[in-house]
Amino acid sequence: MLSFVLIALASLFFTGVIIRTKSITAGRKGPGIMQPVKDVIRLMKKGAVYSQTTSIVFRLAPVVYFCTVAMAALLIPFGSSRGVISFNGDFIFFAYLLGLGKFFNIIAAMDTGSSFEGMGASREALYSLFAEPAFFIILGSLALLTGNTSFYDIFSALHLGSYITYALAVLAALVLAMIAMIENSRLPIDDPKTHLELTMVHEVMILDNSGFDLGLILYAGYLKFAIFGAIIANLFTGGMSLLWALVVFVGTQFSFAVVIGLIESFMARFRMNHNAQFIFALSSVSFLIFLGVLLVLGKFI
Protein backbone atom coordinates (compact mmCIF):
# COMPACT_ATOMS: atom_id res chain seq x y z
CA MET A 1 0.00 0.00 0.00
CA LEU A 2 2.90 2.29 0.81
CA SER A 3 4.24 2.15 -2.74
CA PHE A 4 0.83 2.96 -4.21
CA VAL A 5 0.52 6.04 -2.00
CA LEU A 6 4.05 7.13 -2.89
CA ILE A 7 3.44 6.68 -6.60
CA ALA A 8 0.19 8.63 -6.41
CA LEU A 9 1.98 11.44 -4.59
CA ALA A 10 4.88 11.45 -7.04
CA SER A 11 2.51 11.60 -10.01
CA LEU A 12 1.11 14.88 -8.77
CA PHE A 13 4.45 16.60 -9.09
CA PHE A 14 6.18 14.77 -11.89
CA THR A 15 4.91 16.57 -14.96
CA GLY A 16 5.09 19.89 -13.16
CA VAL A 17 8.82 19.41 -12.64
CA ILE A 18 9.28 18.52 -16.29
CA ILE A 19 7.48 21.64 -17.48
CA ARG A 20 9.29 23.81 -14.95
CA THR A 21 12.68 22.47 -16.10
CA LYS A 22 11.83 23.16 -19.71
CA SER A 23 10.75 26.70 -18.87
CA ILE A 24 13.85 27.46 -16.84
CA THR A 25 16.16 26.24 -19.58
CA ALA A 26 14.22 28.37 -22.04
CA GLY A 27 14.78 31.40 -19.85
CA ARG A 28 11.21 31.72 -18.60
CA LYS A 29 9.84 31.34 -15.12
CA GLY A 30 7.22 28.80 -16.10
CA PRO A 31 3.97 27.62 -14.51
CA GLY A 32 3.79 26.28 -10.99
CA ILE A 33 4.61 22.68 -10.19
CA MET A 34 1.01 21.85 -9.35
CA GLN A 35 -0.31 23.30 -12.61
CA PRO A 36 -0.88 19.96 -14.38
CA VAL A 37 -2.99 18.76 -11.45
CA LYS A 38 -4.98 21.96 -11.54
CA ASP A 39 -5.50 21.38 -15.27
CA VAL A 40 -6.90 17.93 -14.60
CA ILE A 41 -9.25 19.23 -11.93
CA ARG A 42 -10.44 21.97 -14.25
CA LEU A 43 -11.11 19.43 -16.99
CA MET A 44 -13.07 17.22 -14.66
CA LYS A 45 -15.41 20.08 -13.89
CA LYS A 46 -16.24 20.60 -17.55
CA GLY A 47 -18.85 19.05 -19.78
CA ALA A 48 -17.96 16.96 -22.78
CA VAL A 49 -18.45 16.94 -26.53
CA TYR A 50 -18.68 13.55 -28.17
CA SER A 51 -18.31 12.97 -31.88
CA GLN A 52 -21.33 11.53 -33.63
CA THR A 53 -19.16 8.96 -35.38
CA THR A 54 -18.15 7.39 -32.09
CA SER A 55 -19.80 4.59 -30.21
CA ILE A 56 -19.74 3.12 -26.75
CA VAL A 57 -16.12 2.07 -27.23
CA PHE A 58 -15.07 5.72 -27.26
CA ARG A 59 -16.87 6.36 -24.00
CA LEU A 60 -15.51 3.21 -22.40
CA ALA A 61 -11.86 3.58 -23.41
CA PRO A 62 -10.66 6.37 -21.07
CA VAL A 63 -12.21 4.56 -18.10
CA VAL A 64 -10.52 1.28 -19.01
CA TYR A 65 -7.21 3.02 -19.70
CA PHE A 66 -7.20 4.76 -16.34
CA CYS A 67 -8.14 1.58 -14.51
CA THR A 68 -5.34 -0.38 -16.16
CA VAL A 69 -2.77 2.20 -15.14
CA ALA A 70 -4.11 2.42 -11.59
CA MET A 71 -4.11 -1.37 -11.30
CA ALA A 72 -0.56 -1.51 -12.66
CA ALA A 73 0.50 0.88 -9.91
CA LEU A 74 -0.78 -1.63 -7.36
CA LEU A 75 1.86 -4.11 -8.51
CA ILE A 76 5.00 -2.08 -7.83
CA PRO A 77 6.84 -2.72 -4.57
CA PHE A 78 8.77 -0.15 -2.60
CA GLY A 79 11.91 -1.07 -0.71
CA SER A 80 10.92 -3.78 1.69
CA SER A 81 7.14 -3.54 1.37
CA ARG A 82 5.31 -5.51 -1.27
CA GLY A 83 2.91 -4.07 -3.74
CA VAL A 84 -0.78 -4.62 -3.00
CA ILE A 85 -0.83 -7.37 -5.64
CA SER A 86 2.29 -9.49 -5.75
CA PHE A 87 2.79 -12.96 -7.13
CA ASN A 88 5.29 -14.96 -9.18
CA GLY A 89 5.28 -13.58 -12.67
CA ASP A 90 3.49 -10.36 -11.83
CA PHE A 91 5.64 -8.36 -14.22
CA ILE A 92 4.02 -10.29 -17.07
CA PHE A 93 0.65 -9.19 -15.72
CA PHE A 94 2.00 -5.63 -15.46
CA ALA A 95 3.15 -5.49 -19.08
CA TYR A 96 -0.04 -7.00 -20.45
CA LEU A 97 -2.22 -4.67 -18.32
CA LEU A 98 -0.50 -1.71 -19.91
CA GLY A 99 -1.05 -3.43 -23.24
CA LEU A 100 -4.78 -3.60 -22.49
CA GLY A 101 -4.77 0.14 -21.93
CA LYS A 102 -3.01 0.69 -25.23
CA PHE A 103 -5.50 -1.55 -27.05
CA PHE A 104 -8.40 0.55 -25.86
CA ASN A 105 -6.59 3.78 -26.66
CA ILE A 106 -5.98 2.60 -30.19
CA ILE A 107 -9.53 1.49 -30.88
CA ALA A 108 -10.94 4.63 -29.32
CA ALA A 109 -8.76 6.66 -31.66
CA MET A 110 -9.94 4.67 -34.67
CA ASP A 111 -13.53 5.07 -33.50
CA THR A 112 -13.59 8.74 -34.33
CA GLY A 113 -13.27 8.01 -38.01
CA SER A 114 -10.65 10.67 -38.53
CA SER A 115 -7.42 10.13 -40.42
CA PHE A 116 -5.39 11.99 -37.79
CA GLU A 117 -6.28 9.62 -35.02
CA GLY A 118 -5.79 6.68 -37.34
CA MET A 119 -2.26 7.82 -38.07
CA GLY A 120 -1.43 8.12 -34.40
CA ALA A 121 -3.06 4.80 -33.64
CA SER A 122 -1.09 2.88 -36.26
CA ARG A 123 2.20 4.34 -35.09
CA GLU A 124 1.39 3.74 -31.45
CA ALA A 125 0.65 0.08 -32.16
CA LEU A 126 3.98 -0.34 -33.95
CA TYR A 127 6.10 1.37 -31.31
CA SER A 128 4.56 -0.49 -28.40
CA LEU A 129 5.22 -3.69 -30.36
CA PHE A 130 8.95 -2.96 -30.39
CA ALA A 131 9.21 -1.63 -26.86
CA GLU A 132 7.80 -4.78 -25.23
CA PRO A 133 10.76 -7.13 -25.87
CA ALA A 134 13.16 -4.73 -24.17
CA PHE A 135 11.09 -4.76 -20.96
CA PHE A 136 10.78 -8.54 -20.91
CA ILE A 137 14.46 -9.14 -21.61
CA ILE A 138 15.55 -6.76 -18.84
CA LEU A 139 13.28 -8.49 -16.38
CA GLY A 140 14.51 -11.82 -17.65
CA SER A 141 18.08 -10.74 -16.95
CA LEU A 142 17.13 -9.57 -13.47
CA ALA A 143 15.27 -12.83 -12.87
CA LEU A 144 18.36 -14.73 -13.97
CA LEU A 145 20.56 -12.63 -11.69
CA THR A 146 18.45 -13.02 -8.58
CA GLY A 147 16.71 -16.32 -9.25
CA ASN A 148 13.23 -14.94 -8.49
CA THR A 149 10.27 -14.10 -10.67
CA SER A 150 8.16 -11.44 -9.02
CA PHE A 151 8.79 -7.70 -8.75
CA TYR A 152 9.16 -7.75 -4.99
CA ASP A 153 11.43 -10.81 -4.86
CA ILE A 154 13.66 -9.58 -7.67
CA PHE A 155 14.17 -6.12 -6.27
CA SER A 156 14.68 -7.12 -2.69
CA ALA A 157 17.28 -9.71 -3.68
CA LEU A 158 19.13 -7.35 -6.01
CA HIS A 159 22.27 -6.42 -4.14
CA LEU A 160 24.54 -4.20 -6.16
CA GLY A 161 28.09 -4.95 -5.20
CA SER A 162 30.72 -4.94 -7.89
CA TYR A 163 31.32 -2.36 -10.58
CA ILE A 164 29.68 -4.42 -13.21
CA THR A 165 26.41 -4.91 -11.38
CA TYR A 166 26.22 -1.16 -10.84
CA ALA A 167 26.92 -0.57 -14.51
CA LEU A 168 24.26 -3.09 -15.50
CA ALA A 169 21.77 -1.45 -13.16
CA VAL A 170 22.54 1.97 -14.64
CA LEU A 171 22.17 0.58 -18.15
CA ALA A 172 18.88 -1.09 -17.20
CA ALA A 173 17.70 2.18 -15.68
CA LEU A 174 18.53 3.99 -18.93
CA VAL A 175 16.63 1.46 -21.02
CA LEU A 176 13.65 1.60 -18.67
CA ALA A 177 13.71 5.38 -18.82
CA MET A 178 13.60 5.24 -22.61
CA ILE A 179 10.74 2.75 -22.48
CA ALA A 180 8.90 5.15 -20.18
CA MET A 181 9.42 7.97 -22.64
CA ILE A 182 8.10 5.81 -25.46
CA GLU A 183 5.05 4.82 -23.43
CA ASN A 184 4.27 8.40 -22.53
CA SER A 185 5.07 9.77 -25.97
CA ARG A 186 7.84 12.15 -25.08
CA LEU A 187 10.83 13.24 -27.09
CA PRO A 188 12.80 11.86 -28.84
CA ILE A 189 10.07 9.58 -30.11
CA ASP A 190 7.15 11.91 -30.15
CA ASP A 191 6.66 15.57 -29.42
CA PRO A 192 3.85 16.44 -27.04
CA LYS A 193 4.06 20.10 -27.92
CA THR A 194 3.60 20.13 -31.66
CA HIS A 195 0.09 20.00 -32.96
CA LEU A 196 1.06 18.99 -36.46
CA GLU A 197 -0.63 15.71 -37.04
CA LEU A 198 2.04 14.26 -39.24
CA THR A 199 4.52 14.43 -36.42
CA MET A 200 2.49 13.13 -33.53
CA VAL A 201 1.91 9.70 -32.16
CA HIS A 202 0.13 9.87 -28.86
CA GLU A 203 -1.02 13.43 -28.67
CA VAL A 204 -3.11 13.09 -31.79
CA MET A 205 -4.96 10.02 -30.50
CA ILE A 206 -6.71 12.07 -27.85
CA LEU A 207 -7.75 14.97 -30.06
CA ASP A 208 -11.45 14.22 -29.77
CA ASN A 209 -11.57 13.55 -26.02
CA SER A 210 -12.85 16.31 -23.76
CA GLY A 211 -13.93 16.98 -20.21
CA PHE A 212 -13.78 14.20 -17.65
CA ASP A 213 -12.37 11.73 -20.18
CA LEU A 214 -9.47 14.00 -21.08
CA GLY A 215 -8.76 14.57 -17.39
CA LEU A 216 -8.66 10.81 -16.82
CA ILE A 217 -6.30 10.28 -19.75
CA LEU A 218 -3.93 13.07 -18.71
CA TYR A 219 -3.78 11.89 -15.13
CA ALA A 220 -3.20 8.31 -16.25
CA GLY A 221 -0.21 9.59 -18.20
CA TYR A 222 1.22 11.24 -15.09
CA LEU A 223 0.68 8.05 -13.11
CA LYS A 224 2.54 6.03 -15.73
CA PHE A 225 5.55 8.29 -15.41
CA ALA A 226 5.54 7.87 -11.65
CA ILE A 227 5.22 4.09 -12.02
CA PHE A 228 8.26 3.83 -14.25
CA GLY A 229 10.19 6.18 -11.97
CA ALA A 230 9.32 3.88 -9.09
CA ILE A 231 10.59 0.82 -10.98
CA ILE A 232 13.86 2.60 -11.72
CA ALA A 233 14.18 3.64 -8.08
CA ASN A 234 13.59 0.03 -7.07
CA LEU A 235 16.64 -1.05 -9.03
CA PHE A 236 18.81 0.77 -6.53
CA THR A 237 17.00 0.28 -3.22
CA GLY A 238 17.52 -3.43 -2.74
CA GLY A 239 17.61 -4.06 0.98
CA MET A 240 17.89 -0.47 2.16
CA SER A 241 16.14 0.81 5.24
CA LEU A 242 12.89 2.71 4.86
CA LEU A 243 14.37 6.18 5.25
CA TRP A 244 17.16 5.66 2.73
CA ALA A 245 14.75 4.00 0.32
CA LEU A 246 12.50 7.06 0.57
CA VAL A 247 15.41 9.35 -0.17
CA VAL A 248 16.45 7.29 -3.19
CA PHE A 249 12.84 7.19 -4.40
CA VAL A 250 12.32 10.94 -4.23
CA GLY A 251 15.75 11.58 -5.71
CA THR A 252 15.17 9.21 -8.62
CA GLN A 253 11.73 10.61 -9.49
CA PHE A 254 13.02 14.16 -9.32
CA SER A 255 16.14 13.55 -11.38
CA PHE A 256 14.14 11.48 -13.89
CA ALA A 257 11.76 14.39 -14.38
CA VAL A 258 14.61 16.88 -14.70
CA VAL A 259 16.42 14.68 -17.22
CA ILE A 260 13.26 14.38 -19.31
CA GLY A 261 12.88 18.15 -19.21
CA LEU A 262 16.47 18.62 -20.31
CA ILE A 263 16.16 16.10 -23.13
CA GLU A 264 13.02 17.81 -24.35
CA SER A 265 14.72 21.20 -24.28
CA PHE A 266 17.85 20.24 -26.12
CA MET A 267 16.95 17.46 -28.53
CA ALA A 268 14.79 17.40 -31.59
CA ARG A 269 12.52 14.52 -32.36
CA PHE A 270 13.89 11.72 -34.51
CA ARG A 271 12.72 11.36 -38.08
CA MET A 272 9.60 9.24 -38.04
CA ASN A 273 11.25 6.49 -40.07
CA HIS A 274 14.10 6.24 -37.60
CA ASN A 275 11.87 5.78 -34.58
CA ALA A 276 11.31 2.09 -35.21
CA GLN A 277 15.00 1.25 -35.38
CA PHE A 278 15.72 3.31 -32.29
CA ILE A 279 13.13 1.42 -30.31
CA PHE A 280 14.42 -1.89 -31.58
CA ALA A 281 17.95 -0.79 -30.59
CA LEU A 282 16.64 -0.74 -27.01
CA SER A 283 15.91 -4.46 -27.31
CA SER A 284 19.44 -5.08 -28.58
CA VAL A 285 20.88 -3.12 -25.66
CA SER A 286 18.77 -5.12 -23.23
CA PHE A 287 20.20 -8.26 -24.80
CA LEU A 288 23.61 -6.86 -23.90
CA ILE A 289 22.38 -6.44 -20.33
CA PHE A 290 21.49 -10.14 -20.43
CA LEU A 291 25.03 -10.83 -21.64
CA GLY A 292 26.40 -8.78 -18.76
CA VAL A 293 24.34 -10.79 -16.29
CA LEU A 294 25.74 -13.97 -17.78
CA LEU A 295 29.21 -12.55 -17.16
CA VAL A 296 28.40 -11.66 -13.58
CA LEU A 297 27.09 -15.13 -12.89
CA GLY A 298 30.24 -16.60 -14.34
CA LYS A 299 28.40 -18.71 -16.86
CA PHE A 300 31.30 -18.15 -19.20
CA ILE A 301 33.90 -20.57 -17.94
Partner 1 sequence: MVAINGLLVLIIAAIVVILLVNVRGKGMFAAAAVVTIAIVSSMVAIPALLGHSFEVMLTGTYTFGPVVIKVDALSAWFILTINFTMTTGIFYGLGYMKRYADQRNSITLHAIAYILLHLALVGLCAIQNAMVFLLFWEMMALSAFVLITFEHEKKDTLRAGINYLIHSHVSIIFLMLGFMYVAFKTGSYSFSAIADFAHHQSAMAGIALFLAFFIGFAIKAGFVPFHTWLPYAHPVAPAHISAVMSGVVIKIGIFGMLRMLLLINSDYTTIGFIILFASILSGVYGVMLAIIQHNLKRLLAYHSIENIGIIGIGMGIGTIGLGIHNEVLAILGFGGALLHVLNHSLFKSLLFYGAGNVYLATHTVAIEKLGGIIKKMPRTAILFLIAALAISGLPPFNGFVSEFLIYSGLYGWIGSGSIGTLVIVLFSLLSLVLIGGLALLCFTKAFSIVFLGSSRHVNIEEVQEQGQLQLVPMYFVGLLMLLIGFFPALFLRILQQPIALFTQTIGTAPQPIPVNITNALHTIGWAGLLFALFIIALWILRRWVSSSKPVEVGPTWGCGYPTSSAKLQYTANSFARSYSKLAKPMLDIGKKEIAITEVFPSKKHYETHTYDKLERYFIDKLIKLIKVVTGWFLFLQNGRLQRYILYGILFISGVIIIPIIIEKIMMLLHFLNNL
Partner 2 sequence: MTNILLILFIISLLYLSIANRLVTYIRVLALQGFILFGVTFLALEEINTLNLVLILLETVVFKAVAVPVFLSRLIKRNHITREAEPYLPNFVSLIITTVIVVVTVLLANSIKDTHVDKIFFIVALSSLFAGLYIIASRKKIITHVMGYLIIENGVFVLSLAVGNEMPMLVNLGVMLDIFASVLILGIFLNKIGDVFKDVNVDQLSNLKDY
Q: Summarize as ranges the residues that interact with partner 2 (CB under 8 A).
A: 163-164, 167, 171, 274, 276-278, 280-281, 283-285, 287-288, 291-292, 294-295, 300-301
* Closest distance of CB 200 from partner 1, Å: 13
**Long-range contacts from 70-74, C-beta under 8 angstroms, 24+ separation:** 70/220, 70/223, 71/97, 72/97, 72/98, 72/224, 72/227, 73/3, 73/4, 73/7, 73/8, 73/223, 73/226, 73/227, 74/4
Residue 107 binds to partner 1 (criterion: CB under 8 A): yes
Binding status of residue 52 toward partner 1 by CB under 8 A = yes
Three-state DSSP string of 208-255: CCCCHHHHHHHHHHHHHHHHHHHHHHHHHCCCCCHHHHHHHHHHHHHH
Closer residue to partner 2 in complex, CB, 116/287: 287
Quick check: 248 and 237 in contact, CB under 8 A?
Answer: yes
Query: 187: helix, coil or strand?
Result: coil
Smallest distance from the beta carbon of 252 to partner 1, in angstroms? Answer: 26
112 near partner 1, rule: CB under 8 A: yes
> Smaller CB distance to partner 2: residue 70 or 288?
288
Residue 155 binding partner 1, by CB under 8 A: no
Nearer to partner 2, 272 or 294 (CB): 294
C-beta of 123 vs 202, nearer to partner 1 = 123
For 174, the 3-state DSSP assignment is helix
Binding of partner 1 at residue 116 (CB under 8 A)?
yes
- Minimum CB separation of residue 76 from partner 1 in Å reads 14
